[in-house]
Structure 1
């Protein structure tokens, strides 16, 4: 490039150098600056060819801000301060401040993080202890702070730090693919999800349409490939396995019976996927994860639970909720727009509620039918579909693609699907019945097989399928049955649970547990009160026994047990007799025992006990009470016993205390 120029003397003089360089640059079709740069390098390097070798040692070296380097950037317009030269230590301080005050807190702004950085790194305390920020020119500016943020922290990294990876993947990532990429055709993937409907309903009880019962829960099941709605459920249940189970069951439910129940005109063409189940159910990490996280046994359908906060992985069903409800907005009373939820002093749409659950379900079925036979203008038809003339209508796409997928589609009856969907677990068989939580179950088949008699010796486990909504019956695995299972019912001991759900029974069990816990405390206190009452008596009796037994042998305490027992029994009888006697003046129709004096007069002179007693004085006559009346009544055994005791007392053979 410069060999012809350095060979001439004219290139050494400024007046002639310019035209020579311009002519050489035009000849080589390069810029004049390029030629001049090579000339300078040649002259600066000692007029040798090696001077033209690039400065490899200086290339790739990190740029550093030297303390004595001149500041970069334009000067401020008002020239109040000089430009601050950012040094390496300033970059490190600002990067630490960005991580601490900006990236780690999702609601912090750049201005707020800059303020914290200035307070932490570019301030001092004056004599009064007040923090003083360094003046402009002695600290980095906000523009320099923002420049370091943008240079060292890419935008996607900032979003991931502040909002999280899930939010970035959902709202900020590049969307280069399609949900159709991993779908093999119709019936391969069904998307299932639930939402709260944007409509208020009223009670269906007679004369109760003015009572609002709130918003229903909607479940939708949509085929990903054809956009066909294959199943649904409308209820007042929260999003749960019980509601999801009904939505899955709706696929197998005969659609003619469904339409007849709600008064909808039935056309088989509107339900081309009736009874057909997919290869994969795509669901949230919610109710499907709890009961069927891998597959639904019995129908062979795999269940895939998506990561949390990733609705973009099942966009078909997510988008259809919004689309179908918006189309129902002008046809329903009590529709509540989502934008009104957080609107200040918004309109009270719930006061317009007029429809019952059955009426809304009727409208929802009509909306599903309209969707299945309505065109989807944005549907990505494949070249094959375009060549075959397939229109972008869900039911037509299904009918056109179903023959190709016939080997992968499975049809099941309602009862088979219901049995497969019921949650299953192993429960203990006891002599009182099969214990499922607080409930006990039995059946004639199990009793005839001797299950409960065998459980008296040793309990064992058995697989039980149950409906969480109703505890009346369960299905027990029983190999001896032709179907492999039998239906068991509640035993008489727990029949009071009939009609309840297992959640209600669990709630009652918790109430009983709390009550028993409280009663345990009350029982302890009650026993303590009892001991406070009886312990003094016991201690006093023990002290008196020790006092009266002093100097006597312990073995002699039982020497007169029989006599002492008889004496104590006689004493107790007399005390009870005195207690039972009527008080003076009380009327009684009981004939009293004769007094000891009367019994004594009836004795003979020899002390023998006669067989008869004088009759007691008659009531109401004028004879004295002590007048003996002749009577030939025989003596009763009790009277003979009393007379015998009287003789023994007279002879001194019976010790009566207090006599």
Structure 2
């Protein structure tokens, strides 16, 4: 032990280390600490015992900074020096208590001198260092840390500080005094710690131009700085040395990358999100990402529809995934609300919609949290007021560009990609494709529904089987032997921690979380987003009859964009709702999503617009053909009128008779005759009624039909209702 003698007469401290105590005699050996010429001294044991009782002696802690506490970081060269020193004194110090006696010690030292050739004073220094260091082998390590004035800069004098140069023509540099040092600091602040993110070499160059130029010379329109010789300038090595020596890393990163980037990528990670949550439901995190996979259309699989959006809602305490949303709606309020609605949905029914049968305990969460951490984009402003006021969920928005505030849910996207998404056809293999490499978009095979099925299986695996070795179980979980699986932690938290989960009627949650819109009541049904619906309420109150007899009107509805089968009329300010079902004639929209319907309608509208040019060209051709026929007919008719020399009154009179004659002739010509077509055609030619009189007949004389047609004409005259005029 190390002891200190108390003395009121002197301010000097007398500190000694006890090296040996005799097990038989009243003797002990000690050595004075801090004395470079000290030797072991023999004292009586009773003297020290009495001094302790009289409060003249106390034990002190002595820490030798020259002795490292750990062996693994000791320099190998230092270990060689230590072993050489130990080899010189090990035969002396192992012979206690004889080594503390002057005569015996001198004899042993002479033997070591003869064997090793080490000087006597060096051997004494080794012995003294070993004894004062607590008789530890590492106390013989070299004290290189005592070289120089540690922690203080050497004063600038005439001679150049620093290591000698390896080459004669290498710039020597200058002594960096306080004035030069201040110029270097200013150069670093101006040219390195800024948003330009310039390299240190560029900052060094600009510093020399700014602070060390003696003037300028003009070459054309350019002013070129004139610098002294290299021996009168600080070298880049000196600039870098003082930059590293005085650099404030946090200020440098913040100046070059900004506070947001520092907080996201460089700040110390000392906390844990788990300790922000006391139990299940204390805090959920929600976030979205664009999946790294391309999908095809549900209607036509040859259509590539792009990448889907994934929303995940996860419990912070247990890492249990409470809800998801997979769709084509970009990261927005719509997607966030769909994901939150899914957290309260019965998961057995939800999975059954995608053809997946599960037991209730496989996905047991159907609750809202006490707090919700989200992005500012989705849950900022007045939109989440219903979530806060009606459902009692406290919304917390993370600062911009601070994804680390939602690190738990962000990690799930990475895990989902590693587990499944990267192996799906159409997955993005890399952000940039090499020339000639196949376009991964052409490998897309899955529809949105099929991709959702994969994600559901992924979540079931995570909740029920994912073993989180990194999860920090508290002492109570360790005592209860809770396996670090999300479902096990969730169930343990429900039993052992205060409840934070909220359970509300499903229709209340959906009416407040589902998307809202306005539908139009028309004679063809309740029209919403191009799809028509019907309901018992509309039939009872004759809405469609009123819409056809009068005017259409708009009604407030809620809808789930994942299914077109139903929409819901909002009645009594959300306390009651009426279900509207898809009409039978709209069966092509059955079991589809609104996103897919909107895509289909947009494609059809696009195809219609694409055909407008062809329609116009065809209409132009039709109009041209019609015009040609009209012009030819008008020419022939005008010539006939000119030749007949009939007045307008004469042309109008006899219209009924001429119409009947024309019709009879057409009927005989148009009548179906399946046999004897050649003879019938010959007879028809012989029975054709000429419409113009013979040239020898008086032009003004009325035409008399053949006798065999008169009876037929008279019979039809009684049936004709047309007026002459």
TM-score category (smaller protein): 0.5 to 0.7
Aligned to 2:227: 133
Q: For residues 422 and 109 of structure 1, do their structure 2 counterparts lie closer, same or farther at Cα, with a shift above 3 Å needed?
A: same
Q: What runs of 5+ residues in structure 1 fail to find an aligned partner? A: 5-25, 34-61, 427-442, 449-461, 489-498, 509-583, 592-659
Q: For residues 487 and 257 of structure 1, do their structure 2 counterparts lie closer, same or farther at Cα, with a shift above 3 Å needed?
A: closer
**Are 2:332 and 1:240 aligned?**
yes
**Are 2:367 and 1:276 aligned?**
yes
Aligned to 2:397: 305
Pick from 101, 108, 124 the counterpart of residue 191 of structure 2.
Answer: 101
Q: For residues 145 and 74 of structure 1, do their structure 2 counterparts lie closer, same or farther at Cα, with a shift above 3 Å needed?
A: same
State how 1:98-497 maps to structure 2 within 5 Å: 98-123=188-213, 124-126=215-217, 128=219, 131=224, 132-205=226-299, 208=301, 210-273=302-365, 275-290=366-381, 292-293=383-384, 296=387, 297-329=389-421, 332-334=423-425, 336-337=427-428, 340-342=430-432, 344-345=434-435, 348-374=439-465, 375-405=467-497, 407-422=499-514, 483=575
Q: After superposition, what is the alpha-carbon deviation per residue over 1:624-643, rounded to whole angstroms, capped at 9, x for unaligned?
A: xxxxxxxxxxxxxxxxxxxx
Q: After superposition, what is the alpha-carbon deviation per residue over 1:289-309, rounded to whole angstroms, capped at 9, x for unaligned?
A: 255456614211111110111
Q: What runs of 5+ residues in structure 2 fail to find an aligned partner? A: 1-6, 11-30, 39-151, 519-536, 543-554, 581-592, 603-641, 650-725
Rounded Cα–Cα distance in structure 2 between residues aligned with 1:372 and 1:380: 17
Give the aligned CA root-mean-square deviation in angstroms: 5.5
Q: For residues 325 and 291 of structure 1, do their structure 2 counterparts lie closer, same or farther at Cα, with a shift above 3 Å needed?
A: farther
Pick from 24, 28, 35 the counterpart of residue 30 of structure 1.
Answer: 35
Q: For residues 97 and 293 of structure 1, do their structure 2 counterparts lie closer, same or farther at Cα, with a shift above 3 Å needed?
A: farther
Aligned to 2:144: none
Q: For residues 151 and 172 of structure 1, do their structure 2 counterparts lie closer, same or farther at Cα, with a shift above 3 Å needed?
A: same
Task: Using structure 1 for the length normalisation, give the TM-score.
Answer: 0.56
Instruction: Report if aligned partners of 1:276, 1:411 keep a CA contact under 8 Å in 2.
Output: yes
Instruction: Report if aligned partners of 1:241, 1:291 keep a CA contact under 8 Å in 2.
Output: no
Aligned residues: 454
Q: After superposition, what is the alpha-carbon deviation per residue over 1:93-118, rounded to whole angstroms, capped at 9, x for unaligned?
A: 32232222211134311011111122
Q: After superposition, what is the alpha-carbon deviation per residue over 1:157-192, rounded to whole angstroms, capped at 9, x for unaligned?
A: 111111111211222122111111211111111111
Q: For residues 93 and 29 of structure 1, do their structure 2 counterparts lie closer, same or farther at Cα, with a shift above 3 Å needed?
A: closer
Deviating beyond 6 angstroms after TM superposition, the runs of 4 or more aligned structure 1 residues are: 62-66, 423-426, 462-479, 484-488, 584-591
Aligned to 1:528: none
Q: CA deviation at 1:217?
A: 1.0
Instruction: Report if aligned partners of 2:514, 2:559 keep a CA contact under 8 Å in 1.
Output: yes
Residue aligned with 1:230, SS: strand
Residue aligned with 1:250, SS: helix
Rounded Cα–Cα distance in structure 1 between residues aligned with 2:576 and 2:403: 40
Instruction: Report if aligned partners of 1:187, 1:405 keep a CA contact under 8 Å in 2.
Output: no
Q: For residues 136 and 364 of structure 1, do their structure 2 counterparts lie closer, same or farther at Cα, with a shift above 3 Å needed?
A: same
Rounded Cα–Cα distance in structure 2 between residues aligned with 1:85 and 1:370: 66
Rounded Cα–Cα distance in structure 2 between residues aligned with 1:385 and 1:214: 45
Rounded Cα–Cα distance in structure 2 between residues aligned with 1:381 and 1:390: 8
**Are 2:165 and 1:76 aligned?**
yes
Rounded Cα–Cα distance in structure 2 between residues aligned with 1:272 and 1:463: 33
Q: For residues 359 and 29 of structure 1, do their structure 2 counterparts lie closer, same or farther at Cα, with a shift above 3 Å needed?
A: closer
Q: CA deviation at 1:277?
A: 0.9
Instruction: Report if aligned partners of 1:373, 1:393 keep a CA contact under 8 Å in 2.
Output: yes
Rounded Cα–Cα distance in structure 2 between residues aligned with 1:322 and 1:329: 10
Residue aligned with 1:282, SS: strand
Q: For residues 169 and 474 of structure 1, do their structure 2 counterparts lie closer, same or farther at Cα, with a shift above 3 Å needed?
A: same
Q: CA deviation at 1:415?
A: 2.1
Rounded Cα–Cα distance in structure 2 between residues aligned with 1:149 and 1:278: 50
Instruction: Report if aligned partners of 2:281, 2:499 keep a CA contact under 8 Å in 1.
Output: no
Q: CA deviation at 1:351?
A: 3.0
